[in-house]
Amino acid sequence: IYNSSAKESLDMIRKDLGDCKRCILHKTRKNIVFGEGNEKAFLMFIAEAPGAEEDIKGRPFVGKAGELLERIITKGLNMQRKDVYIGNIVKCRPPNNRTPLAEEIKSCFPVLVRQILSIRPKIIVALGNVAAQTLLGTKETITQLRGHFFTFKGIKVMPTYHPAYLLRNEDKKRECWEDLKKVKQELML
């Protein structure tokens, strides 16, 4: 389940990021949530931004949405969280969990691109509107994009609903499951 050829290491990227002050989010964050998981993962999950619990712990997806993502990974894909890599479009929590501003995304996105190019996953699952729209350079909504593969720098991207959205809209879980079946089939799991 791992990719054997990593380029620039994630440690190098993290050291280069340092105590980032590239945008205003550094003023209100508690921790930079760099991302975590396997550096050679074939599967990468990318969401919008850290939430309150993630900001406190400095890790992605540690709250209720994280519990659902973990179930998606283990029960839906028959993998473990340690097998995948999980990151965000922006590394710091926007105040009151608001959507990241364009300038915040612009400041942080190059770091994520370096992470993606280091890991070189076979598939990226873009969780929610901001992740999908940023990676794919589109204004189309997740409802329009989900269920279809796209590419980002030669890597397949499957947009689907964010786990936090699924917790509020349980009727969309079936559609997310359909998206993940396509990912599973593509990875031949």
Q: Is residue 183 part of a domain?
A: yes
Is 2 within the bounds of a domain? no
Asked if residue 106 is part of any domain, the answer here is: yes
Q: Give buried/exposed letters for 56-92 (b at 16+ CB in 10 A, else e).
A: eeebbbbbebbebbbebbeebbebebebbbbbbbbbb
> What is the extent of the structural domain holding 136?
10-187
Q: What is the pLDDT of residues 147-173, one digit of tens each?
A: 999 999 999 999 999 999 999 999 999
- Whether residue 1 lies inside any domain: the answer is no
What is the reported pLDDT for 78? Answer: 95
Lookup result for tokens 């940023």: 134
Tens of pLDDT along 21-51? 999 999 999 999 999 999 999 999 999 999 9
Query: Percentage of the chain surpassing pLDDT 90?
Result: 95
pLDDT at 106: 98
How many separate domains does the chain show?
1
Position 2 scores a pLDDT of: 53
Residue 5 included in any domain? no
DSSP β-bridge partners for residue 144 = none
SS (H, E, C) 56-115: HHCCCCCCHHHHHHHHHHHHHCCCCHHHCEEEECCCCCCHHHCCCCHHHHHHHHHHHHHH
Within a domain: 83: yes
Is the confidence at residue 97, as pLDDT, over 50? Answer: yes
Which pLDDT score, from 0 to 100, does residue 46 have?
99
What's 20's domain CATH number? 3.40.470.10
Does residue 3 surpass a pLDDT of 60? Answer: no
* Residue 115: per-residue pLDDT: 98
Residue 7 — pLDDT band, cuts 50, 70, 90?
confident
State the pLDDT at residue 6: 44
Least confident of 4-8, 18-22, 179-183: 4-8
Asked whether residue 3 is domain-assigned, the answer is no
Taking 50 as the threshold, does the pLDDT of residue 121 lie above it? yes
Whether 155 is covered by a domain: the verdict is yes
